Structure 1
Amino acid sequence: MKYTLETDFSKHVKSDELHRVYLLYGSQTYLVSMYEKMLIKKALSGEFNEFNLHRFEGADFSMQDLYDAVEQLPFMAQARCVTVDIDPDKLDSGALKEFCSVISDPPATTTVIVTIKTGQPPLKKEKLSALVKTCDKAGGVIELGARRSADLLRFLRSRASKNGCELSSDEASYLVERCADDMQLLSQELDKVCAYKGTGTITKEEIDAVVSVVMQARVFDLSKAIFRGNFQKAMELVDQLLYMREPVPRILAVLSGSFVDLYRGFCARQAGVSPAQAAVDLGYAKNREFVLKNAMTDSAEYSAIQIGQMLETLIQADARLKSTGASDRVILEQVITQLFLITGKVR
């Protein structure tokens, strides 16, 4: 059975129903791990659980050992549980076929939980499809991706409250901007902020003092500095990114994404489409709507010709990085200077 909504799967996990096989995967490894723990607890409700839980990780385990673990009877309990953390891409077609055969029909006393914690679906879709097909037929499958923005903010505020702190929606959104939407990273960074704060209401200054900003957030700050005409701030951010040994092609790729967002925001604003609808039409994740909303606001200050020139400048810089022997840093600083000249806002 495929669960298309996390809410439906959550209800199932809290119910008395228990499938014999589960497949948990998706971009949110935090949720994969969370539901894995909940299912283990649900499957092993009796005593001697340490004897009835068998874990396998990676691709180096023996299929015979896995078969034996799945088929083994519970020890002085009603049930046993076998968890397998696997990356299907690391299994050849023969091994994957054998794996699917082993987990396809476990005994009624065994619950098998298969997880993929790579953070993204496997590149080889045929392998994922084979695994999904097997687990769908034998039990339950759920892909755990990005949560809606409102749900993500509720998660952060609830976690802060459990740590004895208060987190407003604005500060929660700011934390998401700093760390992107990775719930594993967000939970770790929020725990650090709460430990630093102790008790009380968390401020942006305290988030800045503790949180390890992901590269995408620094490049996002770089694009904002360009949009606001702050040349000095932009060059400081370039220094920070290069000091962190971030590759210039990667910096340029993320920066280009911000200007593509600007172009999309411009088009959506011209068409009179709301940010929420534009985010759906353009394929933005539900918790990334704020990116397009900001882009629509920023795009109001530029003409279509200016935005076109910005995108062309970035394309030319990318070509120079790939085809010339010029210094990557020089190319990056030049493209940023050219973008400032196009915006006509330098202070």
Structure 2
Amino acid sequence: MPHDTVLIAGAGIGGLTTALALHARGIDATIMDRTPTLRPIGVGINLLPHAVRELTNLGLGDALRDIAAAPHSICFYDHTGELLFREPRGLAAGDPHPQLSVHRGRLQMLLLEAVRSRLGGIAVRAGTTVDGFIQDSDRVQVRTTAGTLSGAALIGADGIGSTVRAALHPGPDPLMWAGITMYRGAASMPAFLDGSTMAIIKGDNGVDLVTYPIGGGLVNWVLQVPTGDPGELDGDAQWNLAAEPAEVSRHLTRWRLNWLDLDALVARTENIFRYPMVDRNPLAYWGVGRVTLLGDAAHPMYPVGANGGSQAIVDARVLADEYAVGGLAGLLRYEDQRRPETTEVVAANRQMHHAFSEGTADLDRVTSAYRSDTARSRRA
């Protein structure tokens, strides 16, 4: 492997987009992922207009729109179906690009196919777990389960449980729990209302349902249920535990929505997952020398405001721009730009979650939080 290759840990949305962005600037990249076989798993994700812009600039705009839904508004309702407020999104809000809602696995497969087509079939090394790394003035050597790989830089895009982050920051770095358990799924059913609306329904006792079509005949949904006091999570997050339909349905028994069949939403979901709403406190720095972080490995955030995946995609473009111009010095400039920006988003997502959790009594605060998020997204 040439020593000028950039090594990327993680073949998720951030890692794959980084490889494409580097390749577009004439820089070779190799991705390592611990998963033996990359498959289209997961549920829905929203891409804000700034993320759609970046993928469009990489030549993926048409293919992305073919597999996604494009919401023109997000509407808040109470559990009786009364509309509380509506906020335009994407093109309807005056952005030059749409907001797109898509199945995370389908998006990942789209990016994976593009990487393999443009960078070659061996650019993504599945079943290759990063165990650690050492670096010197000439290169970084990455120890993996498939042997040692050498390159010019290492980008830790290996998610919220990042091995690269743990090596760079070996001290305490707990997951911070919002006190919310999320139940997630994608139902095979027709889209509700006009097919281009996101909805957040606020129920009793802080229970919220977020739902939106994601293309391909699927409706994504997330039920957020308060189940404890916020604070440090005891142990790991135990991602993607299976949940039973009854665990969801019991929270919706008194809801009455004439535009959405809640029983069908749950019953037509093949797999329901349960996991905690968590983030981590922002780091004082991301990387050292030839190694840095990106996406959830750098700035995990609450899934509020549709910003997690979108921020990883912006990370990829900024890193590629700066590295192409400045090499290793560009990695530091990337961090200097993106770390304060993403720290602001982490804080804003926490504030937005707190506004939501107070229910409809503070509707002005909820409205303000969403409009502030829209304005922040346009500046990305």
TM-score (norm 1): 0.25
Greater strand proportion? 2
Max Rg structure: 1
TM-score (norm 2): 0.24
Q: Which has the higher contact order (CA 8 A, sep 6+)?
A: 2
